[in-house]
Structure 1
């Protein structure tokens, strides 16, 4: 009698596991389609560039931007970014357009050496014309600890995530 109960419970657990993995598979497919739609929207967004103030006010997730302005003092280094298996940081600097709009501009990725010494970031020329894609910040992942911490240098912050 006990063996039959064990067999029923085993089959029930197997069916529940299959249902859970099927649901996870559909979730991954939904994520794939959402990311593909975002990639497909990049081309048309860059083709029709707007001034920064108009792009910030426009509905939608992606907009092409072409504007003129100045980079402000300060730099944000987004930690725990990897490229081809190497650890590094993404570099962001605040930018103010001539129209007064301000946002963080992604200036690229730099690899960190084994001792995790943060890279020195030179100040871009100002005034400057910028052209690019206005997109939401990278996903925060697990929000553990403070978003920003000081690096010991004025105007320079190390971020574990960028708040939306």
Structure 2
């Protein structure tokens, strides 16, 4: 009876571990497909530029946007962003177009000081012309803790991820007013910080995600094989005892 109870606990533990490994492998495959789909898209020519409102209402593919409007108060610093091997953060500023559409504008990258004391920042404000690529935001890691935290500088938030609803709430914007995409500001425009239009910045390529998926599924298979071997050995030990 005790052996049966122990075997049952062992199988429950094995199933839980196998399920966890399979879920991680599935997540890696999902990330691979998402990134490959993004890379398969063609960056639109500047001649195909749309107004912000039109681009946001179109199917969610890469869009080149040119528009006029004004920067709104509030700046979000997305932490843990690397550039050329250096740690830093990306700056995002909400923008309201003359047509009434809102978007977070990627102003570029700034290095994070070793002591993590933010340097004085001067976000843009007032009326401006924007041009850039409407694209998905940087990928988020595992969601741990609050997404945004205040800083000592008024109106500036430090984020480890950017859920649109939480960002809008922190910046005092209407609910559901921010899209899931951001505007990657044209590097040729004046102002802002170091920036480019790399579609997969600070992240792994699809091939790496496939490799990790294979590893997770391989671990799941290994646990299953070990569990089966232990089960067979346990039955062989029990079988002679049952014949006595």
- TM range, smaller chain: 0.7 to 0.9
For residue 108 of structure 1, give the secondary structure of its aligned residue in structure 2: strand
- 2:151 & 2:98 partners in 1: Cα distance? 30
- 1:45 & 1:53 partners in 2: Cα distance? 18
Q: Could you tell me which residue of structure 2 aligns to residue 83 of structure 1?
A: 83
Larger Rg: 1 or 2?
Answer: 2
- 1:123 & 1:141 partners in 2: Cα distance? 26
Offset of 1:34 from its aligned partner? 5.3
Q: Could you tell me which residue of structure 1 aligns to residue 146 of structure 2?
A: 146
For residue 144 of structure 2, give the secondary structure of its aligned residue in structure 1: coil
Q: Could you tell me which residue of structure 1 aligns to residue 106 of structure 2?
A: 106
- 2:36 & 2:87 partners in 1: Cα distance? 26
Aligned length: 143
Give me the TM-score of the superposition, normalised by structure 1: 0.74
| Moved segments of 4+, more than 6 Å | none
Higher RCO (C-alpha under 8 Å, 6+ residues apart)? 2
**Counterpart contact for 1:110–1:119, Cα < 8 Å:** no
Q: Which structure features the higher share of helix residues?
A: 2
For residue 44 of structure 1, give the secondary structure of its aligned residue in structure 2: coil
**Counterpart contact for 2:49–2:64, Cα < 8 Å:** yes
Q: Which structure features the higher share of strand residues?
A: 1
Segments of structure 2 that go 5 or more residues without pairing to the other structure are 1-20, 164-179, 181-244
**Counterpart contact for 2:71–2:124, Cα < 8 Å:** yes
Give me the TM-score of the superposition, normalised by structure 2: 0.51
* Residues 34/158 of structure 1: CA separation in 2 closer, same or farther (3 Å cut): closer
Q: Could you tell me which residue of structure 2 aligns to residue 35 of structure 1?
A: 35
- 2:69 & 2:42 partners in 1: Cα distance? 23
